[in-house]
A and B are shown apart, each in its own frame.
Chain A
Amino acid sequence: MDKITLSINGNAVSVAPGTSILSAAQQAGVNIPTLCHHPDQEIKANCRICVVEVKGYVNLLPACATLVSEGMEVKTTTARVLEARRTILELILARHPQDCLHCMRNGNCELQNLTSAYDLRQTAFSKEPRRLPADFSSPAIVRDPNKCILCGRCTEVCSTTQTVHALGMAYRGYDALVVPSLGQDLLASPCVMCGQCIHACPVGAIGEREQIGELLTALADPQKIVVTQIAPSVRLAIAEEWGRESGSLPMEQLVAGIRNIGFDYVLNTNFTADLTVMEESRELLERITTGGTLPMFTSCCPAWIRFAEIFFPQLLGHISSCKSPQQMFGALVKTYWAEKTGIDPAQIYSVAIMPCTAKKYEALRPEMKDSDYPDVDLVLTTRELGRLFHMTGVNPFNLEGSDFDSWMSEYSGAGVLFGASGGVAEAALRTVCQAATGQELPPLDFQELRGMQGVKTAELNLNGDIIKVAAVHSLSNARELAEAVKAGESPYHFIEVMACPGGCIGGGGQAFTSSNQLRACRIGELYNEEKGRILRNAHDNNEVKHLYEDYLHNSDESAVHELLHTHYSPQPKVL
């Protein structure tokens, strides 16, 4: 189609029809400030910070919501434009607490950056903060409504991307507020704790429940042996905490960094990811051969589990009984690992470093005590790990690499794949094929299960039997597939669900994630890492084999089942 030519600040720019002024300016390298705009969301045009002057229009126009037209003359730097933006900023700041030094978004806040760019040294407006209490009801997510600038990005990700509708806009005008449904606490709402609202928020109004203090107390306690597990996605994003490229910190240096902080033992969630593949593949084959409930959904994502328990209680029988890798790890570290190392499980303080906010909630689920202790004592997000590094002055990039400790850290490429949407399905298919046919898949890679597409599907031919697999990310896509299962119309045998866009690499606990583009970058790095592993299959993991031969096969069968499997219960909420 013909391009449209317009001028921006006197320079001719040619763009496709239907382009917004904002997008045209971005293509021309002209920066127009935004707050309510988000690259992966609908246009809202409610903050007005992107106003520009367009010849022939009396009023300033919002660049995000105005489409270009032939011959349009746009000016983005006039005194009138800059003055209008300054006033908008001043009005937002009049309602916004000025405690930036104490805010978790200090140095990483869109409002702060704009305030700095627009030289707002003083303001004519008096301060009228809301003075509302912060919401600490959720074990995973903390909301401070005082900091909210009403951009609507959290409500959109919650309602459109996730179809959870836990957050909504309420009241009017000066009193307008983002509130959990019915104005209740977040915990009483259908919030699934995925934490995507945290990434959507341009300011510090939403964050994870910070638990660094609890870790420091445990590290200082001579009676406690602090053992940590790291999830595969953490490494892919942690480098961003130093402004470096995703995935640029090698695993050995990350391990060395965590040791330097003071952790006693560093182990790997990838190990139990491989174990999850073994258990889940066996369960899938068993369901297929014995006429069990199909399709089977994966169970490693706690936000998906909570979503299913709230919105699809009738489908809980479809969910794999396997615990998530975090919780399998927790149950084993205080039983198997304690036995192997001769450490008293009562002394073990089990920490999980996760890309996830919902994992904080999962660890607190009352049934997660199969080691006779809390299986996981504390969950820290990738961001909290970043803060820990900055606080302690440990920079892993400057350290000599270090290996993981023994018994629960060997991992295959399959475990690495857990970080990306489609990865669990791919890892499981490799092992299902081996278990059913005794032969490896040629080739191992399932390209059709990779990438940022919302719903991906693949088929595996097992001696003539076709196994149909789907992998979805974002709960809106999961809802669609779950509705089909509910209606008895799903053609699949196995459905992998990841609540967060892109999978765990885009998890609610990751380094602040401004767009799906960054998620795609991390996914690219993940497949690079996977390709580099000598072991690609979960069933080739020697430590996992040893765990089965030396421990699980010698233990009482029901005890083994308890350690590695769980159950789900409906959670009625006002939807």
Chain B
Amino acid sequence: MCSCGEGIKDLRYTALEKMLENYQHCPEKIIPVLQETQGIFGYIPAAAIQQISNALDMPSSEIFGVVTFYGQFHLQARGKNIIRICSGTACHVRGGGQVLDAIVKGLGLMNGRTTTEDLMFTLEPVACLGACGMAPVIMINDDTYGRISPQEVPAILAHYKEKEGGQVWVA
């Protein structure tokens, strides 16, 4: 389980506590509570589920059921930059798979992980981005990159790394 916030008072948990004051004993408010929780943490940490469970009088096993049911909730910390890659038919036939491989390699994601260890990037394959004319297509945050080749991937990733002022990623 997540142990961040142990010892030192984590301001995010203070914010969570304050938010939960509005929802005492209200299990029917679980969706807005989870949305606000994700607004605070960027994801839903296990320790937060325990706190929500106490406040709403809702067993954590049920909260876990809700969190995992909806695609909008995340149990793991997510990166600053969200890369969405289309895995639809058009992108697939035009080489989306190789682009995906290049991103996985470029980010150093191993063993099915989707978020980099430095929390800079999260990779999310999606069913369709609705831009089949630009296949293969990826989106990074709100920027769209169409008709890209695996060779272009390192430079695109480097751009987002540089924007953060960090060192340029070397694949």
Residues of A within 8 A of B (CB): 159, 165-172, 179-183, 189, 574-575
Contacts and interface: CB of A to CB of B under 8 A. Distances in A.
17 contacts: A159-B59, A159-B61, A159-B62, A165-B59, A168-B62, A168-B65, A169-B65, A170-B65, A170-B69, A172-B68, A179-B64, A182-B46, A182-B61, A574-B1, A574-B50, A574-B53, A575-B59
Given A182-B49, A575-B50, A170 B59 contact: no
User: At the interface, is chain B mostly helix, strand, loop or mixed?
Assistant: helix
Nearest to A179: B64
Given A182-B46, A574-B49, A168 B61 contact: yes
A439 B141 CA distance: 83
A166 B75 CA distance: 19
Nearest to B47: A574
Contacts, number: 51
A180 B69 contact: no
B105 to A, nearest CB: 27
Contacts of A159: 59, 61-62
A168 B69 contact: no
B116 interface: no
Nearest to B66: A170
Contacts of B64: 168, 170, 179, 181-183
Interface in B80-119: none
B46 A574 contact: yes
A165 B68 contact: no
B35 interface: no
Contact of B62 (A165, A171, A180): A165
B61 A189 contact: yes
A180 B60 CA distance: 10
A167 B61 contact: yes
Contact of B53 (A166, A169, A575): A575
Given A172-B69, A181-B59, 19 more contacts: A159-B61, A159-B62, A165-B59, A165-B61, A165-B62, A167-B61, A168-B61, A171-B69, A179-B61, A179-B64, A180-B61, A181-B60, A182-B46, A182-B49, A182-B61, A183-B75, A574-B50, A575-B54, A575-B60
Interface of B: 1, 46, 49-50, 53-54, 59-62, 64-65, 68-69, 75
Contacts of A166: 61
A148 B122 CA distance: 32
Contact of B68 (A167, A171, A575): A171
Contacts of B50: 574-575
Closest 6 CB pairs of A and B: A168-B61, A165-B59, A181-B61, A170-B68, A171-B68, A165-B61
Contacts of B65: 168-170
A159 B49 CA distance: 18
Contacts of A183: 64, 68, 75
Contacts of A169: 65
Nearest to A175: B68
A192 to B, nearest CB: 14
A163 to B, nearest CB: 9
Nearest to A172: B69
A491 B62 CA distance: 33
B54 to A, nearest CB: 8
Contacts of A172: 68-69
Contacts of A182: 1, 46, 49, 60-61, 64
Contacts of A165: 59-62
B101 to A, nearest CB: 24
Nearest to B50: A574
A179 B1 CA distance: 16
Contacts of B46: 182, 574
Contacts of B54: 575
A181 B54 CA distance: 14
A185 to B, nearest CB: 12
A182 B1 CA distance: 9
Nearest to A159: B59
A282 B165 CA distance: 75
Query: Which interface residue of A172, A180, A182 has the most chain B CB atoms within 10 A?
Result: A182
A397 B60 CA distance: 48
A180 B62 CA distance: 10
A574 B68 contact: no
A357 B69 CA distance: 32
Contacts of B61: 159, 165-168, 179-182, 189
Nearest to A166: B61
Contacts of A180: 61
A179 B59 CA distance: 13
Contacts of B1: 182, 574
A189 B65 CA distance: 14
B60 to A, nearest CB: 5
A183 to B, nearest CB: 6
A175 B41 CA distance: 26
A183 B54 CA distance: 18
A532 to B, nearest CB: 45
A286 B53 CA distance: 40
Contacts of B49: 182, 574
A179 B60 CA distance: 12
A166 B50 CA distance: 13
A286 B62 CA distance: 43
A225 B109 CA distance: 57
